[in-house]
A and B are shown apart, each in its own frame.
Chain A
């Protein structure tokens, strides 16, 4: 049977970063998936070798526009580990506050995207409107809505004034109230229940075998969280829980992310209320001794890993970044097998792909030998049509 390529260009109608899949399909069912990524490959690892520790942090922040603080923090703490520099407690708390606020904005963003993927645009508007409260807090604290540039090797750059802490605490009750609504929605909202349950299911054994990380793995019952396995900042000292679920499908991943939103709100509240006094930075040496470090961090999408090697200068010898989306791609490829073609946007969105962190949908239809242009919008329409058909029968 001739294989026909149906491309979806890297230019999408909404939201997504450029990516190209090749899906080998049999009618409406997917047989296999092949990946072509990295339209956003820019050569950052090479550039990091020629920038000193001050200049490299803004570059690393811009690896990704959603988890920018993750990259900066994991690098800074890796260099601090090699230099054997302990940053003051206040700096640790501030890093944690920004990290959890980033997780909140990222998960709210994702919730909106997931709603958009199933045609539930009201959820998109609601979550992004609530997200603006988090963005305002971040802008007050750091000066920018994204790319906060809070980190430096040796601590943080900006302190939090008492009025900023008060303003942030004043916004939390609104967010906590809205989160209760989203939790209720998970149990009651028919659209979400029907379109998320049973889609993209992955068992615990599969999640481990495919190397899934983050909420994708935690939804299948794998309790892997870099904040718990390799504690950094203040996660070993403050009360918080790893959120897992046993569903293993897109619904489970939604539950995990909403649970993590509530945990993050709790962590932010605790850290703001218990912010210790003191310095926000210690003087760090300009050059790092020769050494090596594998720095791990729990980004909103999963475990982010920086392998850093230094050589006695003020630049790194080698920086190897492994982003959580790269780790999750294999699991996407595997759990798409046997699913409906029209479920692709939902399943791909469920791992919360951050392609700029990592780097067009091509469908080969084995059975009919036909092909044509197919957009994500078309797939969403087919998904809705299929759901309506199932509801009627």
Chain B
């Protein structure tokens, strides 16, 4: 395998990822408004499928994970597990005010600190809930990040590497 053909195949894969990112949606305990707005992207009015964006069921098939909700304690470990199942390169979009830091639910007893505390988030979308147009904009922003990551040879230029713990439910002293 010469250097040229490896570049050629990698370029093809990158092109396919950029032209048709597949998303998966995870509701980490939100009110569901963001999920409905994401689904509203599939309908004829906004129609993201014409861009090649498919909503896939399994995280193993997805490039982008869209997280809605403020990451309740019950969903936090599941969210972590779903994210770990995604193959690299993977991107995370945190929807809405909840994704940014809990939204109206910030500080409640059954809600984590933020989605960013559990998995590394690449794009935050403002809104409560963000409109479908803003969701599409977020996916496009992700694609911009993907292009930059390809140019830099990975995510290391903007993100610390996340250590994957074998046990995602550690016990010990934590700040709640």
Contacts and interface: CB of A to CB of B under 8 A. Distances in A.
- The reply to whether A and B meet directly (CB within 8 Å) is yes
A371 interface: no
Contacts of B108: 42-44, 46-47
A389 B124 CA distance: 47
A41 B131 CA distance: 25
A356 B27 CA distance: 10
B150 interface: no
A9 B27 CA distance: 12
Contacts of A125: 43-44
A65 B29 contact: no
B36 interface: yes
Nearest to A36: B74
B31 A128 contact: no
B69 interface: yes
B35 A65 contact: yes
A17 B43 contact: no
B34 interface: yes
Contacts of B20: none
A17 B35 CA distance: 9
B48 to A, nearest CB: 13
B37 interface: yes
B56 interface: yes
Interface stretch (A56-64, A156-164, A244-252): A56-64
Given A65-B129, A128-B40, A42 B105 contact: yes
B39 A38 contact: no
A39 B56 CA distance: 21
Interface residues of A, number: 40
B111 A43 contact: yes
Interface string B6-42: 0000000000000000001011011111111101100
B33 A62 contact: yes
B140 interface: no
A141 B38 CA distance: 22
Contacts of A40: 27, 29-32, 69, 72, 75
Contacts of B128: 62, 147
B35 A145 contact: no
B72 A356 contact: no
A62 B72 contact: no
A146 B33 contact: yes
B120 interface: no
B78 interface: yes
B99 interface: no
Contact of B32 (A43, A145, A356): A356
Contact of B29 (A42, A63, A109, A375): A42
Nearest to B43: A128
Interface residues of B, number: 39
Contact of A58 (B24, B33, B104): B104
Contact of A17 (B27, B37, B58, B111): B27
Given A14-B55, A47-B108, A145-B37, A39 B32 contact: no
Contacts of B58: 13
A147 B129 contact: yes
Contacts of A146: 33, 36-37, 129
A132 B32 contact: no
Contacts of B103: 62
A10 interface: yes
Contacts of A46: 108-109
Contacts of A354: 32
A124 B39 CA distance: 10
Contacts of B40: 128, 132
A356 B37 CA distance: 15
A63 B98 CA distance: 12
B29 A39 contact: yes
B31 A43 contact: no
Interface in A338-364: 354-356
Interface of A: 9-15, 17-18, 38-44, 46-47, 58-59, 62-66, 68, 109, 124-125, 128-129, 132, 145-147, 354-356, 375, 377
23 contacts: A10-B75, A11-B59, A13-B55, A18-B78, A39-B78, A40-B69, A42-B72, A42-B105, A43-B105, A43-B109, A44-B108, A46-B108, A47-B108, A59-B105, A62-B103, A65-B30, A65-B33, A66-B36, A68-B31, A128-B39, A147-B128, A356-B32, A375-B57
A-B CB proximity, top 9 nearest: A65-B33, A13-B57, A43-B108, A65-B32, A65-B31, A128-B43, A40-B29, A43-B109, A43-B110
Given A18-B27, A39-B29, A64-B32, 18 more contacts: A14-B39, A15-B35, A17-B32, A38-B74, A41-B74, A43-B105, A46-B108, A47-B105, A62-B31, A65-B35, A125-B43, A128-B39, A132-B40, A145-B129, A145-B131, A146-B37, A355-B32, A356-B30
